[in-house]
Structure 1
């Protein structure tokens, strides 16, 4: 008896998730090009996908971290120290790349942009204060507001407290972790539809024409991010693994950066990154902490944005920037970037803190922030893609270097 030939939908469902996302990407571009009036009608698909990721991410991180620590065997390494070192060095290197690019290709801005709302922090101490206060936030409030520093702090505390709990309690925590992970897996299966809606809505936005007026500064920012993604990060991976870094780099760009580019939120991409780490066979004790932590403090893209926009403002006002001050700016931008919230546009309100190094008035600085929001449709997407994919790259490189175990980079 002959079996029925599979339908087009069945053949589509048999494809890998990445292949399905690619199809969604292509269809979204086609819709924006040939039927731009219909893009807003599918935007709901993208909004629902981002909302689902943001909703499940805090619960996933809390349960996963608590379960990982509660079941951690004494003496088993977590490899967090090399991951944190890579986070620090990677962010600083990105800021230095931005300084160098801004000196080679100096850019200026037309400072007549409208004012924007928001209150920038008063300095590095204010950023650090906010981070410390976030760590001791009420746990329910931290979950509701997706405050991942607070979520991590409470999850670690609960996990440590449950280290000596009964095996039944620890098994229940593991079962809860598996259940939440299953929900996340279901949400991620809708990524092709979500990407389709996000791409169509983004490309159908009439505000894209406004980017032409700031094309040069946008090219410098995106160029720096591409250089970090394709040159600097591979150098760090090669330093740790002493092998060809690009299979890992391209896997993370394909599986993490692609979704982050359109969600424009490191926090929303946490479930995607956790699933990728699990697929690559990394130690859960490491990635359960390093991925949500990286979404908060590993911000190479943010360091680039802050540095380039600040130096562009200085060049516009005719302020001479010497090498020592530029190096100080890169350090300030790196620490400031660590305080960026994992949401769209999070790095822009830190620009006034950096421009204060050059005596630029707050009014002018907020005009620079406004320009940042104009170009954010591309800048923030590229920034988030770099930030989020780097979390997985550095976690994987540190784990593989410490354990010597091969990474599973299978495309399936």
Structure 2
């Protein structure tokens, strides 16, 4: 038994997760009733990640800012620019794909009990109100915009504190990071439980009638992940970006795919950033910020489903309106985390651009709920893995400017 345990520990985390994934699929197909208790592993894993992530962000950001020395480079402007560019291009790609492969929907009910925001102003207002949220409430509700705002303010207030105080905060930050390492060690069991639950609870039969819609959605997200994002990274670092892209997709995208929560994946992304040797002052802020505003997958979902509604109703769309939709989907995507229900509930807002009535738009949201098991998984995997990708790209560019040798294959 000890030999088996030692061999297991010698495997990389990705290999361990793949083993858990395969076992979960086998159990779901071969013995769905007998193996039902394994679902608890997935719930515990996601619960632990969600519980530790807000505390991790608070202490990491507060500690990084309190101990930040003037003149140190943090690359935040570059990272935010990459986030916004990536989200806009994702929306644009989705619009182009929807024109090349138009999809018509059989409209579905199923979104009657939810309320969509009334406009972009409401989305942005919700986002800004989260900034001034009560700090305790922000932590309890995992409001990362609020957590970031308070962490930054507390960090600035503590810049002139005694060294012993800064050391105490740093020690707390290290302790929480250690807890994250322990939680991530249980990822294989967590993924086993999550994939088992996904297959047994949802199945794939209900998705077959929306095959073309899913093909366009997932195709756009894969194109963004494997073509658009690598092109952006290449333009920034002037080296083959694919080793870094695949590293981020493996280490971050796989867990995000199954947890279906960018917030839950923050600890995973923090750990990956540390492995890549990135500046803690940068990634401790950019990763939780990315979980809030870096939403390429959400921009794809909003654009594709909105234009599917447009094609279903036979509405003509000109090029300027399509470009406006790309911009609107990017803005809405950045505010998605401030709206209960995420990207799907921002579809009526985008539909209003074409004069589509709210009741019809909410039927499109109902379609989104039906395909959500796959749509949300791919969307989260793209969103979360890109947080690390762009953070790393911005830092590698600074290394290149300083004349440092960057071996991306070694880093990845």
Tell me the TM-score normalised to structure 1 length: 0.96
Cα pair 2:68 2:281 within 8 Å, conserved: yes
Work out the CA distance in 2 between the residues paired with 1:261 and 1:64. 25
**What residue number does 1:357 align with?**
353
**Is 1:126 the equivalent of 2:122?**
yes
1:240 corresponds to which of 236, 240, 243: 236
**What residue number does 2:368 align with?**
372
How far apart are 1:164 and its partner, in Å? 0.7
Write the mapping of 1:150-299 to structure 2, written as runs, cut at 5 A.
Answer: 150-299=146-295
Matched residue of 1:36: which SS? coil
Cα pair 1:99 1:326 within 8 Å, conserved: yes
2:101 corresponds to which of 88, 101, 105: 105
**Is 1:316 the equivalent of 2:312?**
yes
Work out the CA distance in 2 between the residues paired with 1:207 and 1:333. 30
Write the mapping of 1:33-44 to structure 2, written as runs, cut at 5 A.
Answer: 33-44=29-40
| Structure 1 residues 39 and 264: alpha-carbon distance in aligned structure 2, compared to 1, 3 A threshold | farther
| Structure 1 residues 268 and 342: alpha-carbon distance in aligned structure 2, compared to 1, 3 A threshold | farther
Work out the CA distance in 2 between the residues paired with 1:328 and 1:408. 37
Work out the CA distance in 2 between the residues paired with 1:386 and 1:59. 24
Tell me the TM-score normalised to structure 2 length: 0.96
Cα pair 1:225 1:382 within 8 Å, conserved: yes
Cα pair 1:79 1:399 within 8 Å, conserved: yes
| Structure 1 residues 398 and 407: alpha-carbon distance in aligned structure 2, compared to 1, 3 A threshold | farther
Work out the CA distance in 2 between the residues paired with 1:409 and 1:217. 36
**What residue number does 2:336 align with?**
340
Cα pair 1:251 1:409 within 8 Å, conserved: no
Write the mapping of 1:78-89 to structure 2, written as runs, cut at 5 A.
Answer: 78-89=74-85
Cα pair 2:207 2:370 within 8 Å, conserved: yes
**Is 1:145 the equivalent of 2:141?**
yes
How far apart are 1:342 and its partner, in Å? 8.3
**Is 1:53 the equivalent of 2:40?**
no
How far apart are 1:130 and its partner, in Å? 0.7
* Worse overlay, 37-46 or 312-321: 37-46
Work out the CA distance in 1 between the residues paired with 2:177 and 2:342. 27
| Structure 1 residues 31 and 135: alpha-carbon distance in aligned structure 2, compared to 1, 3 A threshold | same
How far apart are 1:181 and its partner, in Å? 0.5
Cα pair 2:123 2:338 within 8 Å, conserved: no
How far apart are 1:305 and its partner, in Å? 0.2
CA RMSD of aligned residues (A): 1.7
Work out the CA distance in 1 between the residues paired with 2:35 and 2:207. 20
**What residue number does 1:62 align with?**
58
| Structure 1 residues 38 and 407: alpha-carbon distance in aligned structure 2, compared to 1, 3 A threshold | farther
Work out the CA distance in 2 between the residues paired with 1:270 and 1:230. 22
How far apart are 1:409 and its partner, in Å? 5.9
Q: Which runs of no fewer than 5 residues in structure 1 stay unpaired? A: none
Give CA-to-partner distance per residue, 1:150-208, whole Å, 9 cap, x none.
Answer: 00000000000111111111111110100110111111111010011111111222442
Work out the CA distance in 1 between the residues paired with 2:384 and 2:410. 20
**What residue number does 1:92 align with?**
88
